[in-house]
A and B are shown apart, each in its own frame.
Chain A
């Protein structure tokens, strides 16, 4: 036990790491007419958590575990493995933009020499995992932090791109807590295996929508 407050700090959407500028693919899904009501929003968030969410969680867990062991020799391989799991160049860029911003924030908030060694634009889950380890959190909590932050961020964006009752949105988040717990456990377990076996669940419509969104003239969120 311990470090619960550090977990809350890392998972808090108010952490100034740029997450507020992203809807996690919700805006493009709403624009394309694929999410039109609360049931559609809930399904979207569940589908996203089970795909991109699980990948991010697993990579955060591995980065956390390696950092805690003081062995970051496979950091480059980790970046390559994550790239291979994100077909859309736009989503790879978003992940690296968010990673760069999170690193900047963590380096300012709670400095550590490791942040300078993560390359010019590390992926967000890898920075999250490293930051979790620096704060004394274990891989399971690193996974939980990124699952919650990404999920709550997309849910919060619903209020700006759809007509919703905020209580209904948070009711979805409450119903999803068991799923996030389950995904975080799977992610932490996967961190003990080979990198090649890390989860790789794809989300074809998210990749396609992200490429359309980047070319859209009018948009509220960067992704």
Chain B
């Protein structure tokens, strides 16, 4: 698989959970609405069709699109676990994926690494809205998060990712998260964030500056090939930056989860309709 970064060479640890969930949507036969065509939950990864959860960029609670929610069927992931989620957004369809609650990443009994790989394909003319809740890296966790998104040339995307460095008053364990987005097979956005005792310099002024929450919103709009939004550092700890391709990254480094959500929403709203919420 050309988009796959890490060959899985890990040894199975006792009691670890392995889960592989699949979500797909497609345009209905009459082409008038998007429908969920595959909804395969697996153990801790529980997928359900759902109603709009709150404000949604781009979609604004439309009823003719497919909408699913990811819930945790158990605590975790914990060290040793391997979770995988595949999402496929069929040509011309629109899918919203949200989450019921934040994901708390915990250390395992044996101290192994937990991993979650999410692979997303968005076909021609399709739209994917991924409005996730924060990932919380608990003390002594050891987690690798890996998200790969392959967009067709004329696909649209908006996603939010938020990471919290430990629960209240605790220091985070080792955590890395990579988000790689390709468009028409070419790299559009590729960023990894790593922090925790094994990482170097993450708490410095160059990376996170001692703050406890970090996140971004990525929006990809094919029309921005002609007229990309201008760069806008709208807060001392947040900026909207146009990518080299037709997308923007809104990045923020915040004191806590509320501050982070506020900064990211503020950045998104500078894009105006239909992105603003």
Contact = CB atoms under 8 A, between A and B. Distances in A.
A221 to B, nearest CB: 15
B218 to A, nearest CB: 9
A212 to B, nearest CB: 5
A222 interface: no
A196 interface: yes
Given A43-B201, A211-B239, A51 B251 contact: no
Given A87-B241, A200-B192, A212-B236, A205 B200 contact: no
Contact of A50 (B181, B201, B243): B201
Interface in B33-48: none
A208 B204 contact: no
Interface stretch (B74-82, B89-97, B128-136, B206-214): B206-214
A194 B148 CA distance: 15
A208 B200 contact: no
B201 A47 contact: yes
Given A196-B180, A200-B178, A40 B239 contact: no
Interface in B174-227: 178, 180-182, 186-194, 199-209, 214, 216
A51 B200 CA distance: 9
Contacts of B231: 88-90, 211
A93 B60 CA distance: 36
B192 A202 contact: yes
Interface string B246-266: 000101110000000000000
Contacts of A105: none
B249 A50 contact: no
B52 to A, nearest CB: 29
A204 B233 CA distance: 12
Contacts of B233: 208, 211-212, 215
A84 B204 contact: no
A34 B231 CA distance: 22
Contact of B206 (A51, A77, A87, A212): A51
Interface residues of A, number: 45
B200 A50 contact: yes
B244 A50 contact: no
A215 B202 CA distance: 26
A52 B243 CA distance: 17
Contacts of B181: 84
A201 interface: yes
A206 B251 CA distance: 11
A6 B251 CA distance: 40
A66 interface: no
A196 B187 contact: yes
Contacts of B245: 83-84
Contacts of B253: 204-205, 208
Contacts of A92: 244
A44 interface: yes
B192 to A, nearest CB: 5
Interface string B130-169: 0000000000000000000000000000000000000000
Contacts of B205: 29, 32, 34-35, 40, 43-44, 47, 205
B55 to A, nearest CB: 24
Contacts of A88: 231, 239, 241
Contact of B2 (A196, A199, A206): A196
Nearest to A29: B205
17 contacts: A44-B201, A45-B201, A47-B203, A50-B199, A80-B186, A84-B188, A84-B189, A194-B2, A201-B191, A201-B192, A201-B193, A204-B207, A206-B206, A207-B241, A208-B238, A208-B251, A212-B239
The 7 closest A-B pairs by CB, nearest first: A47-B201, A47-B204, A34-B205, A43-B204, A83-B244, A47-B206, A46-B201
Given A43-B201, A200-B180, 6 more contacts: A46-B204, A83-B244, A84-B181, A196-B5, A204-B252, A205-B206
